[in-house]
Amino acid sequence: MFQNPGSGVADNAMLVACSDVTFPDKTVKKMVVVAIAGTAAESTFDWTDEDGAGGGKGTAITGVVSWADFLKTPTEIPASPPAADEAYISVGTATGLCTLLGMVDSSTTPKQTLVEHLATSEADILVVTGHSLGGALSAALGLYLAQTGAAPGIATTYVYPTAGASPGNDVFAQTFAKVLPAVPGPVAWQSWNLDIWNTLDVVPQAWGTADADPTIRTLNNVNVIYGNVDRTPLPPNAVATPADVAALSSRLLGWSQGSQVTYTPVQGASFPGQTVHFVPERRGSLVGLPVRVPPHDSIGFAAQALYQHGMAYSDVVLAGMTPLPQDKNALVSGVERESLTELLNYFATLFGSASRVEEPDRVEAAE
């Protein structure tokens, strides 16, 4: 775990696990899984320094780091100016990778970094996975481990990123596809080396700058992703994109274009999203917030986006599976689980919106 100085949350976390796994064809293989946590919901460090969506300057996105230089020595030092036809990652991606590569497992003697651990690991398959911020970082970390030969005792490396933003530019995405070829499955989420994304999730739309097209990932989809209209004059009965949302997407688009590289998503596989009219507090809860489609304000937009970026994935991927046992363990003393309302109001503050939702506005879903 990593906690930035002054932070009150775990800003980054990573787990390494090893087990024998039985595959559908009944073969048993030893698998090492490196799982990377997504954005800590109330981590200003994550949003500003790694995701790049928070703050007012966007330096985590406007700045880029040479991938060739990073492979030699992990660094957060930006290239200026970036050269044509070379692979680059965002400064935010580089910051996250440096953090992960610098983490030490204090339970081992001697203490080990991830690379030190993998250097002596023996297994059949290495899987690097993560969601959201973890999706972008798992794609980049998996490529780093593969290109540096960090796990000589493991024959095969796969990545399984979900809902990740673009870690780098077009040449980086091409390098990813060459080193880690796609292994498509019967459905999107049963694939290797592909970023699994929900077509109604705004996060994977970053940081592409292509024209709006619902079949690809680009920031130009954000304003219209939930059925709003962002042109004038507004057609009859249409709902305009909330002003705060339009301002935010414009700012993010400007940062991406200001990087002087063409941010490009790594190869991906999508599943069709479905808008909801009620966003539960957590999966399976009857308490939450009603939302209008299309959203009429930034809070409604954020609530829909929060569902599409989180619960929509588990609702699709885990459909038909035996539910996991409910965790009945008490939270660590001093730790509280954020409510949906707290998250929405935190996001509003982070992105400069004046909109707020009050706790009493939560309602129970109709049964």
Nearest to 62 by CA among 48, 41, 43, 44: 48
Radius of gyration of the chain (CA): 21
Give the per-residue pLDDT at 337: 66
Report the share of the chain in percent with pLDDT over 90.
72
Give the per-residue pLDDT at 290: 92
Which residues are bridge partners to 89 per DSSP?
65, 168
Give the per-residue pLDDT at 364: 52
Residue 101 has pLDDT above 60, yes or no: yes
Average pLDDT, whole number, for the chain?
Answer: 91
Residue 81 has pLDDT above 90, yes or no: no
User: Virtual CA dihedral for 149, 154, 160, 166, nearest 10 degrees?
Assistant: 0
Give the per-residue pLDDT at 359: 55
Q: What is the pLDDT of residues 193-248, one digit of tens each?
A: 999 999 999 999 999 999 999 999 999 999 999 999 999 999 999 999 999 999 99
Give the per-residue pLDDT at 367: 46
CA distance 48 to 54: 4
Tokens 């001093």, residue located: 334
Q: What is the pLDDT of residues 58-71, one digit of tens each?
A: 999 999 999 999 99
The pLDDT-based confidence of 266 (bands split at 50, 70, 90) is very high
Give the per-residue pLDDT at 333: 66
Residue 109 has pLDDT above 50, yes or no: yes
Structure tokens belonging to residue 305: 């986006």
Give the per-residue pLDDT at 24: 87
What SS3 state is found at 197?
strand
CATH number for the segment(s) 14-319+338-355: 3.40.50.1820
Q: What is the pLDDT of residues 305-359, one digit of tens each?
A: 999 999 999 999 888 788 777 777 766 666 666 677 777 777 777 667 767 766 5
Counting runs of H as helices and runs of E as strands, what totals does the chain give?
11, 11
Give the per-residue pLDDT at 236: 94
Q: Specify the DSSP class assigned to residue 229.
A: B
Strands 278-280 and 287-290, sheet pairing: antiparallel
Give the per-residue pLDDT at 351: 65
Give the per-residue pLDDT at 140: 98
Give the per-residue pLDDT at 358: 64
pTM for the structure as a whole: 0.93
Q: What is the pLDDT of residues 138-155, one digit of tens each?
A: 999 999 999 999 999 999
Give the per-residue pLDDT at 360: 43
Instruction: Fill in the amino acid letter for 58.
Output: G
In the chain, alpha helices (H): 44-45, 59-62, 67-72, 91-102, 114-119, 133-148, 170-179, 243-257, 298-309, 311-317, 340-350
Q: How many CB atoms sit inside 10 A of residue 57's CB?
A: 12
Q: How many CB atoms sit inside 10 A of residue 227's CB?
A: 14
Q: How many CB atoms sit inside 10 A of residue 331's CB?
A: 9
Residue 120 has pLDDT above 90, yes or no: yes
Q: Compute CA distances 163 → 134, 153, 262, 297, 330, whole Å.
A: 9, 30, 19, 24, 29
CA distance 196 to 269: 5
Give the domain ranges of the chain.
14-319+338-355
Residue 132 has pLDDT above 80, yes or no: yes
Give the DSSP per-residue string, 321-350: SPPPPP--PPPPTT--PPPHHHHHHHHHHH
3-state helix, strand, coil in the chain (%, to 5): 30, 20, 50
